[in-house]
Amino acid sequence: MPILDLYEHGDHRNNLAHFATLASLAAADGDINPKEMAILEKFAFKLNISEDEFKEVMKKENKYPIETPHSGEKRFKRLFDFFQIIFSDHDIDDEERRIVEKYAVGLGFSPKTAAQIIDKSIKIFRGEIPFEDYHELVKRES
């Protein structure tokens, strides 16, 4: 039975699905190198993935596809959730960015659009948005 079947609903299932997708992305170009493994271990910690779940996901025969939502809003929601996870330690490093770019492309964004969305998302999550963007967001919610 696939490990994802163990979790019917809930945040942990979503976290496990995110992690399984990341592991598949890291393995897409062959074996997972030590740098990628370190990143995956970091994400496993952030996502509260147990050691047993980690081992199960990392088995070579377990490759999980990215579930691509048809709705643009759902794609952005997946990226938003993912950025919340990444920024749980208040930073994103180069390897994390490379993986999130692959994830965004897997969700259906073009590489150029993915890079632009990620640049903007990083600024937002770091609190580096320009006043004009802040003002527009605040006005929209009023």
Average pLDDT along the chain: 79
CA nearest 66: which of 112, 101, 118, 113?
101
Using the predicted structure, report yes or no on whether residue 75 has a pLDDT greater than 80.
yes
Rounded to the nearest angstrom, the gap between the alpha carbon of residue 21 and the centroid of all alpha carbons in its chain is 8
What is the predicted pLDDT for the residue at 7? Answer: 47
Share of the chain above pLDDT 70, in %: 82
Mean pLDDT of 130-137: 82
Look up residue 27 and give its two tokens.
């393995």
Q: How confident is the model at residue 8 (pLDDT cuts 50, 70, 90)?
A: very low
Rounded distance between C-alpha atoms, residue 119 and residue 123, angstroms: 6
* DSSP result, 56-121: HHHSTT--------SSHHHHHHHHHHHHHHHGGGT---HHHHHHHHHHHHHTT--HHHHHHHHHHH
pLDDT at 5 over 70: no
Tokens 């003002």, located at residue = 135
For residue 94, give the nearest of 37, 41, 48, 36 by alpha carbon: 36
Q: What is the mean pLDDT of residues 54-72?
A: 75
Instruction: Check residue 118 and give its pLDDT.
Output: 92
pLDDT number for residue 21: 79
Give residue 1's pLDDT: 44
Entry pTM: 0.62
The answer to whether 12 and 48 are in contact (CB under 8 A) is yes
* pLDDT beyond 70 at 90: yes
99: nearest Cα among 11, 6, 21: 21
Give the residue, 41 or 18, on which the prediction is more confident: 41
